[in-house]
Amino acid sequence: MSPFCFVFGALALAVVAGCAPPRVACPADTTLARHVYSGGGDAEWCRGADAVRNGPESRFYESGTESVAGAYVDGAQSGIWRYRFNDGRNWRAERWEDGALLAVTVDPAVARMTPTELVAVGPSTSGVIKLAAHDPTPAGPPRQVVLHGPGGAPRLAGAYDAEGLRTGVWRFWYPNGRLAREIEFAGGVRDRAAREWHDNGAPAAEGFYAGGLREGPWRFWDASGRLIREVTYRGGAAVSPAAAATGMLPARP
């Protein structure tokens, strides 16, 4: 396999010296992109011809050890994301679905580690992630997209940022033409307002996300329009549920 040397802007000189074979295997119809940071470390991810992130992504410490591994689906963080120390040990796992963070598992040993021990397995020899302030990032206005179903009715509408990640308000429709979801994204994860409807047009859920996690008050309705639950979330965890005698929380995040 030939060395892979794709970079952004002024990083070209840094990459010539550090050019290496690709470590991420991209699915069909996508190509590999790479960002080498001037302060150390790099990242590789897969993107389609439209520059939207689709497929696996890995980030690496200066030492070459993989620090983060996960995937994107249509510009939204999805699937299992794993985080590793510089010595290769897994310390955190996250489960994402369509930009929503559903579950987090952290190695209990991390809580018992001293600051000195954490520095020893940190991102660099100094224990600090070294990203230079002048490292360029892609810039440009969001790219709007609208996809239609077989009958010509809209299926989804939203925008991708310059890095190929979902941004702003995204809308999704049922096959019957009714609006199904309206969710705000930032950097490929759900952030700020979210609303969902049943396929008969009745409201299903309403609340807010912060960094992919439910945050603040949420309300849920059944298909008849009856309010079945009100829950307050902090960091994705329910802290003050108030449920009706019947009714279940919708499975969709």
As a whole-number percent, the residues of the chain with pLDDT over 90 amount to 58
Domains of the chain: 9-120 (no CATH), 143-243 (2.20.110.10)
Which is more confidently placed, 116 or 79?
A: 79
Give the mean pLDDT of 19-29. Answer: 86
Number of helical H runs and strand E runs in the chain: 2, 17
Angle at 101 between CA 89 and CA 172, to 5 degrees: 145
pLDDT at 153: 87
Which is more confidently placed, 18 or 241?
A: 241
pLDDT at 21: 82
Neighbours of 165 (CB within 10 A): 20
Give the mean pLDDT of 30-59. Answer: 89
| Residue 10 confidence (pLDDT) above 50 | no
pLDDT at 100: 96
pLDDT at 138: 67
pLDDT at 172: 97
pLDDT at 109: 85
Residue 108 region, left (φ>0) first, then alpha (ψ -120 to 50), else beta?
A: alpha
pLDDT at 245: 40
pLDDT at 242: 57
Cα(46)–Cα(131) distance, rounded to whole angstroms?
A: 22
Which is more confidently placed, 52 or 133?
A: 52
pTM, 2 dp: 0.81
Which is more confidently placed, 209 or 153?
A: 209
Residue 164 CB contacts under 8 Å (≥ 6 apart), including other chains: 47, 50, 51, 52, 53, 75
Where helices occur in 69-201 by DSSP H, the ranges are 115-120
pLDDT at 14: 35
